Structure 1
Amino acid sequence: MPIPPLTGAILSGGQATRMGGTDKGLVKVNGVPLYQHVLARLRPQVSHIIISANRNIEEYQKSGYPVFSDSMDGFNGPLAGILTALENSNTDWVLFSPCDTPLIPDDLADRLWNNRGNQLAAYADDGHRAHPTLALLHTDLITPLRRYLLGGDRKLMIFLSQQKATPVDFQNSPDAFRNINTLDECNNWNEQK
């Protein structure tokens, strides 16, 4: 089945506590901000791009793409950014990636779309662990997600389970989901490349 138009959403709104509070998406890897590596992988797979960020908005706007801050105050974590991206999407489906996963698969959209079944959500699983922020979600999930957050819940996997989201097998590309969480990991990555 052909993939419909998708909006790609880069989640850059976290507090990056393991990076000492440094804005993770703007940390440079091989001289390029981390989120730009994700952007380069996401761009060919989608029709539109939006960025979820809660600080350094002007820096992210230099990408030329719309930047949105969390629409609900006091909700830390990826679900708040996911809700905001769904609310601001130009398309019915949104492909999500965190800003700290620079090697996302070139076929992420295709595989999530074609293996989602009839569900409104699908997420990547590399056979060792789930990667719920690498996901494809339909905008029909806006209302249940807002309700979930207003109920005080924050756990992304619980929300996806409640929505009967489909885990999609990416066992053949485990390195694609390597993420950078600390400045040491960033420096090691720079040295490896």
Structure 2
Amino acid sequence: MGTVSTTDQMPITGVILAGGRGSRMGGDDKGLIIWQNQPLYQHVLQRLQPQVTTVWINANRNIEVYQQSGLPVISDTLADFLGPLAGMLSALQQTETEWVAFTSCDTPQLPDNLIHHLWQYKGDALAVWARTEERDHPTLALLHRSLATTLQQYLARGDRKLMSFLEQSGGHSVLFAQSEAAFRNFNRPEDLI
């Protein structure tokens, strides 16, 4: 597949990962926590939607609440809240597009050029993820759907580490010049202040 200068020429499904237990948030569904007068996932949606062809939400509880957005809601095909990789697997198995962009539901200020920048610097890799000067952000990733089988096997072995899977898939990070604030995610109640 040749390099495309803009994602406008390639359909991409965007998936907001909201399928976790929220254990560091006291068990609350992080995507539905209110921040600046709206649920966190709505902030993510507003930033992601203009960057992709369609948006899905990956959720394992409060599904009817997420469905009120009018977006397709997909659940993990594997039980027991196995982490972001389980949500990624469900999306890769169900998508009709070649590429799927993933974001966490708790990164409300993600860059408005996230997907374009990942696409621009992916090269021949089947997986790329965002990185800032401070650290990697593997849940902000672009994956080719052909990784579904490899990911299913990885999870079947009991592996759960997202970074390890991305690296084993021949992926690489893409550096973003934005400040760390654009990638800030909310893991604990005190982060919302």
TM-score using structure 1 length: 0.94
Matched letter for residue 145 of structure 1:
L
Matched letter for residue 45 of structure 1:
Q
C-alpha distance in structure 1 between counterparts of 2:36 and 2:177, whole Å: 27
C-alpha distance in structure 2 between counterparts of 1:17 and 1:2, whole Å: 38
Report deviation, 1:171. 3.3
After TM superposition, the runs of 4+ consecutive aligned structure 1 residues lying more than 4 A away are none
Deviations 1:103-141 (A, max 9, x none): 110000110001011000100000211100000000000
C-alpha distance in structure 1 between counterparts of 2:178 and 2:67, whole Å: 34
C-alpha distance in structure 2 between counterparts of 1:64 and 1:75, whole Å: 24
Residue of structure 2 in register with 1:100 after alignment: 106
Percent identity between matched residues is: 53
C-alpha distance in structure 1 between counterparts of 2:80 and 2:34, whole Å: 28
Alignment length (residue pairs): 187
Report deviation, 1:142. 0.3
Aligned mate of 1:56, from 62, 65, 82:
62
Residues 121 and 165, structure 1, Cα contact 8 Å, conserved in 2: yes
Residues 70 and 84, structure 1, Cα contact 8 Å, conserved in 2: yes
Deviations 1:54-80 (A, max 9, x none): 000000000100101100123521100
Residues 10 and 98, structure 1, Cα contact 8 Å, conserved in 2: yes
Residues 32 and 40, structure 2, Cα contact 8 Å, conserved in 1: yes
Residue of structure 2 in register with 1:191 after alignment: none
C-alpha distance in structure 1 between counterparts of 2:166 and 2:25, whole Å: 27
Report deviation, 1:185. 1.6
Pairwise mapping of residues 1-193 of structure 1 onto structure 2 (< 5 A)? 1-3=5-7, 4-186=10-192, 188=193
Residues 98 and 133, structure 1, Cα contact 8 Å, conserved in 2: yes
Unpaired segments ≥5 residues, structure 2? none
Instruction: Single out whichever of 70-79 and 142-151 deviates more from structure 2.
Output: 70-79
Unpaired segments ≥5 residues, structure 1? 189-193
C-alpha distance in structure 2 between counterparts of 1:151 and 1:124, whole Å: 26
